[in-house]
Copies of this chain bind each other. A is one copy, B any other.
Amino acid sequence: MIVKEKFTLNESSDVYPSRGGRKAQLIERQDPVLYAKNVDNSPIDDALVSQYEEQGFLVLENVFNDSEVGYFRQELERLRKIDELRWAEGTITEAGSGDIRSVFKIHEISSVFNKLASDVRLAGLAQYLLADNVYIHQSRVNYKPGFRGKEFYWHSDFETWHVEDGMPRMRALSMSITLTANHSYNGPLMLIPGSHRYYAVCEGETPAEHYRFSLKKQECGVPDDGCLQQLVDLGGIVTATGKPGSVIVFDCNVMHGSNSNITPLPRSNAFFVYNAISNRVVEPYGGNPPRPEYLGARTHCKPITPQTHHYTTYE
């Protein structure tokens, strides 16, 4: 049974409360999924737009060709080899092995990924779906190593962005550009279709500086078993598999996660969160100090101008 609770929209109250002693439950989403009003200027097929609205995500294949993917992968390898980056604030290593798991704010530290962030195929689509100018709330590359790649438990990104970063409403989306093949067995992204229609209120308190360990192992902002079961009963589970160069577009509130990866095949992707400029962050709703800039942009919120880029051979 889904608990459907209607909140009175009141600017002074929090429409998406979570943690802070609240009881785990699913509440209805208060915001549109698709903000675009005019289908005439859609950069993708109408059917895909409808699918995005209904499922909360889309897997677009062959968005980037082999040569472009090769170019991005070379940049990925270059970043991995920079020793200083290993110890940088925005670099996350695997809890066990110490291998690099993620490098944040890559649109600021890499000219290649800066260019990619404004690529019309990504930023243009984000602008259309959110019907607003967009900026990058968060960017990163993820290396999910072979053999010992750890699982990411189920979560809604928005829950954290709202409670810990102060993102007011659901008017943001993520784009994951796959840089290696996503097989069913190497820990691909799993998504629950339709889960973006419900906000899973999480139990527990947010410890001070939670982000320091939540990126390795999430301890709060975790949906409870009952809520997850309800969401899976309604929508099932979809695994985003595909060859390199695909783009997984997903709403900020869709429930997603991934299993471990014991296969020798690593899984890497570049990841951009586009937020509507009208939805810029305010004070975190959880009451704690905001997370650092590299996890949720507070001052670096320049609107992006979508551009057609040509990527030349990497040197």
Interface residues of A (CB under 8 A from B): 146-147, 151, 153-154, 183-185, 187, 190, 225, 228-229, 232, 237, 239, 257-265
Contact = CB atoms under 8 A, between A and B. Distances in A.
A192 to B, nearest CB: 9
- Interface class of chain A by DSSP: loop
Given A184-B185, A185-B237, A225 B264 contact: yes
Which of A154, A187, A262 has most B Cβ within 10 Å? A262
Which of A187, A258, A263 has most B Cβ within 10 Å? A263
Which of A190, A261, A264 has most B Cβ within 10 Å? A264
Give this chain's copy count: 2
B185 A229 contact: no
Contacts of A225: 146-147, 264
A153 B259 CA distance: 13
A254 to B, nearest CB: 15
Contacts of A228: 147, 264
Contact of A232 (B232, B259, B260, B263): B263
A239 B183 CA distance: 11
Nearest to A228: B264
A258 to B, nearest CB: 8
Given A260-B259, A264-B225, A239 B185 contact: yes
Given A153-B262, A184-B184, 19 more contacts: A147-B225, A147-B228, A151-B259, A151-B260, A151-B262, A184-B239, A185-B239, A187-B259, A190-B262, A190-B263, A225-B264, A228-B264, A229-B264, A232-B264, A257-B262, A258-B262, A259-B259, A259-B260, A259-B261
